Amino acid sequence: MHIPAVPTAEMEILSFAEAMRQSGKRADYDAARWLYVPDFYTEYRYVLGTKGQNPLICIGVNPSTAQPDHLDNTLKSVERIALGNGYDSFIMFNVYPQRATRPQDMAKERDDRLHRANMEAFDYILSLSKAPVVWAAWGNIIEMRPYLKDCVLDMIGVGERHGARWVTAGPRSTKGHPHHPLYLKKDSSLEPFGVERYCRECL
């Protein structure tokens, strides 16, 4: 089981731009189908998804161990719901890019290098669509670290520049958090999500 092997402060971290320059060069997955940045397994992940003209951008809290052609059950659910709602692809993004099998193993303090690179990645994936749709799907795990709220607020700002439309699927939790994808029905529909009001009232 993967947990962070070292504190993020001790890690060498690729910027998103550098990770993009290197991506797609390995032979162990189909780079024409997959968007995977960085394109090797490491302590963080900016983006994982399939390529298409009309992607649904799903936002979780932090990345799992999933990789191209080796999706976990959450990512399989994300793909099913994206296709079921008329999208030709999906992109999995996260509020914070540190991989941790258990969210409680995320760093206690935000690493600003990771956050900056993550916001660059978010800006990039929003640019792939003329009218990007962002699916908030982080569940109650968003409460795991205080810095996650500030990360979401920064994402809202990036989204505004691209005219992003926020949605959610399934019932909200008793605390008002958007539903996690894992336990959603495969025919779940997407509904408008007032992300700014949510941040004011629920985070």
pLDDT digits (tens, 9 = 90+) for 132-172: 999 999 999 999 999 999 999 999 999 999 999 999 999 99
User: Is the pLDDT assigned to residue 27 strictly greater than 80?
Assistant: no
* Whole-number percent of the chain with pLDDT over 70: 100
Which residue is associated with the tokens 């009001």? 197
Q: Tell me, what's the pLDDT at 1?
A: 58
Q: Tell me, what's the pLDDT at 25?
A: 81
Cα–Cα distance, 59 to 188 (Å, whole number): 16
Sheet strands side by side (includes 47-50): 34-37, 47-50, 89-94, 55-60, 133-136, 165-169, 190-192
Cα–Cα distance, 36 to 20 (Å, whole number): 9
Amino acid at 102: R
Are 203 and 194 within 8 A, CB to CB? no
